[in-house]
Structure 1
Amino acid sequence: MSTTPATTPALPPARPAADRRARRPRTVLGSVLGSVGGQNLSLLGALALVLALFGSLNPNFLSLDNIEVIGEAATIAGLLAVVQTVVIICGGLDISVGSQAGLASVVSAMAFTASGANAFAGVGAALLVGAGVGLFNGAVIIYGRVNPTIATLAGLAAYKGVAQLVSGGRAQGYVLNDPVFVFLSRGRVAGVPTMVWILVLVAAAVHVLLKYTDIGRNVYAIGGNDTAARLAGINLNKYLISAYVLSGTVAAVAGVLLTARTGSGQPVSGSEGLELQSITAAALGGCALKGGKGGIGGTLLAVALLGALQNGLTVQGINAFWQNVAQGTLLVAAVVIQQRRNRDRAVGLPA
């Protein structure tokens, strides 16, 4: 006599763990933390630590006057870091932004003097030179098929040399008798320095461009996978050249602010080292140096962190050379963290 084996009812397939996590209701705190991002939270923590450390060592460090000094000092580096972020997201790099700012500073002061103290002529000439230099960088990279690092490294030396040649290696002009330059350097809007407002407006415009427009989505696509972007019909040459033109134009704005802040056109002083600051801020802010990842919010937090650190070291009377050491260490740390987070294979070691 045969018996039919009892059958157990089939169990519904288990949902993957990722799906179960995705279906869990998110708390308000979780939503806020998710929108801010782990990278930005780390930067906020580091910034709070730096402020607490130097504030405990010197009570004047957290005074309103000193915070304004930090903001104004970080403005020029912040502008360059914002456009450096765009270039890096595209998969490029612009090492020449500091030299571009120095050249624009000299041009703005010399054009101001040559035009009979017309501030708008000085600003306009600087912006034209900045856009032209950016266009030249992009053309060399695209049509000359030169690696962006090599092309802009050459630009770093060349533009600094041009600025020194046209100025004779000396500061040019004096602009602080002009109300426009005085407003740029010392003016306030709603109690906030004009220079800080310029950084905020440029950063907000670039943030909206990257996050909420098709242009921004195409920029991320190019940096993430240029082959896929090309097959999708995106004009890579147009976007890459536009990124470098934007970089040059905003570097010229930084140069004009440098002129306003120092009172004259500076071929080297004030602009040297800005390229390293901009790259460090972008990397600390979460930009993947391979492209396709990054954001303006993280970059601005990194700019604030670097500005607070440099100011704190200065207030404590620590040798300025240590600022370079700290900046280089932070850049290496940011890249190492990216490598570990992305699980990239270590150079020279088996996978």
Structure 2
Amino acid sequence: MAYRPGDGLYVFGGVNAGAARNDLLRYHPDTGWTRVIANGASGAPPATRDATLVYEPTSRNLLLFVAQRAEVWSFDGTSWTKRASSTGPRTFTVSGTVTRPVTYSYASTTVWATSASGFSTTSFFVPMGGGQGRYTLADRIPAGTVLSVGLMVQDGSAGWTYLDVGEVGPITEDTTLDLAVPAATTPTAKVTGTYSTPAYWPTGVTISQYQRAVVRKPGQPSRQSGPWNTFGPAPEAPSQLTVDFDAFSLAAPHVQWGELRAESRAPQACESLTTYVHALTPGSRVAVALPEGPRNLAPGLNQCTTGSSPPSVPEGTYQFTAPGPRSGGPPS
């Protein structure tokens, strides 16, 4: 997705019913959504799930980088042109097996990889039937990246196992990394407490709550280290909102945080707010206040009635997604 000044917001391709597309859509406030290039059109870039669209100010063209083919295409507002040579960076994948001596019938594993550059990729909920599963970290790992790899196994009612694999790389080719997980589960302890919502949220509003512990390594993105604890939706007064994290005891330099998100769909406060509890101590109690969201950015409009998600307000950075047209979204 990329914005071309004075022309509109462009979206390339995507997936429909499991099939990749190569059409080009444009949104302009005056005309709504239009299809500029049809799906399957001759002379268009290949249909793919793995492409990045950006705006190039010098030429005022849109540039499309197709990672798996290392191709660059240019769109001038009318048609596509394939660049004669690609200067796009090479990217790779990491994949392999995860094995564990003892598993139950509902075992699955999630593998994370992060780097000091801010890169992050995840292979979610890989089945571990028979004590083995296969994962793939396929999110275009840039050449030369050193990855910090970790995984978490959920083993039915037996509990959770967290494993810090350590650093892998630099990655210079598609890499096979087989991972062995110990049979023992990792002890956890509850972090409990209370949290409060902003004062302008009405009493009795239906609140959906999501809470989980995450691991942070200094200088790198966070990664999940426990299950999402989901509460609601249910009408609750602010004094009744509770914190309940499952936290591991982890060795330095890793630090465990708690991630807390609550959603309100009341007309007076339709938003999703997120905050973090820094440096969780297993067995402790905490008191948390959700940050206030932006207000009065679109007077008279209620995004909760348009069928889209509430505006997202992460801690420390505030953004607002204006309601889409009530007649529907982009053409399918």
Q: TM-score range by the shorter chain?
A: under 0.3
- Greater strand share, 1 or 2? 2
Give the TM-score of the pair, scaled to structure 2. Answer: 0.21
- Greater helix share, 1 or 2? 1
Larger CA Rg, structure 1 vs 2: 1
Larger relative contact order (CA 8 Å, sep ≥ 6): 1
